[in-house]
Amino acid sequence: MKPSVVVHGGAWNIPEELEGPHIRGCERAVSYGHDLLRRGGTALDAVEEAVASLEDDPVFDAGTGSVLTQAGSVEMDAIVMDGSTLKSGAVGAIQRVRNPVRVARRIMEETSFSLLVGEGAVAFARRMRFEDYPEERLLVGVELDDYLEFTRTGVLRTAEEFSGRSDTVGACAIDLEGHLACATSTGGIRRKMAGRVGDSPLVGCGAYADDRVGAASATGWGEKIMAVLLSKAALDRLAAGLTPSDACSDAIAMMKARVSGYGGVIMVDKSGTVGYHHNTPKMAFAFVEGSGSVKAAIRA
């Protein structure tokens, strides 16, 4: 089996000056993941480490670099899924942790549950000895400036003052044993309502993995992705005989036709072949298939 890994760093109209940082961040993340696979690491290890790398990169809206809610707080979502068991772990609207994806994996491995949200997710993270990570450390740039101003004055800029950013991050991998896994993480959309949870932590929406078919991770307009179960829809097309690239393209076209949705999806199939597609102006992604080299781009 050829170990393969693919990552994305969000599907939106990425400004030209941010294209380089997005590509470099994806290259770094996919290199971490593939190095683990080459050394015999599991697909779960690879997607966790790749996504954690993207969460730690302030360029992306996930972990460090997340955005503020209307209440002036940071609420993050993440999921991991194991294609060999179909088990998953996820967090929704979690606060004050550095790497939501790591908490999600512990939920999958340490509990009989799949999704914890809000203060329950935070309490679980503390029991698992994840340190309290203040919001000031999760915010960068204008979001940090706004947070400091908000704490001083109680006034927060509205979402209308920003461009439509969608920097959800994700990864899919297959390991030397042929097992598949996926992970997705996001800081959400700017000035979302407190408590809003999008597609990212939901099985079949933001991510899905099944050793019999493949693994997929989605990014984009969360409410539209949820409406069509985008990740599962892409894998269903793969199971029906489409190639990974065609499966991604067809699922995105279906989302656009049915609910006027915009976004992107990445995939790796059970033979280690990678696919990806988006209908937004740009999507940052990178991948390695088997013993090949890292390939990265900002447009499909």
Residues assigned a catalytic role: 168
Long-range CB contacts (within 8 A, 24+) of 108-112: 108/80, 108/81, 108/82
Q: How many CB atoms lie within 10 A of CB 29?
A: 30
Residue carrying the six token digits 């920097």: 167
Residue with token string 């079949």: 204
